[in-house]
Amino acid sequence: MDVRIVETLVMLEIGDGVLTALFPVEHYARWETGPWVPVIAWFRERPGLTRAVGVAKVVGAVAVAASLSKSPGPAWQK
């Protein structure tokens, strides 16, 4: 997969993680539609756990970004 695609996904995940960590109830309430309503409601009712998930998302995304190739092309080169 191209490094720019992976980096774009990483940036989106970092942003989502930050919003989740800072505003867990509000962020999840905005997305409480569709077939996943029970899952989102479960997280919205547990803001501490939701914040932890947000922080874990940011940490994981930064770790992926750190492992990416330094130049355009494949995301990971041997």
* C-alpha dist (Å) from residue 41 to 2, 22, 25, 34, 60: 35, 17, 9, 12, 24
Rounded mean pLDDT of the chain? 93
Q: Flag whether pLDDT at 78 surpasses 80.
A: no
For the stretch 12-71, pLDDT in tens is 999 999 999 999 999 999 988 899 999 999 999 999 999 999 999 999 999 999 999 888
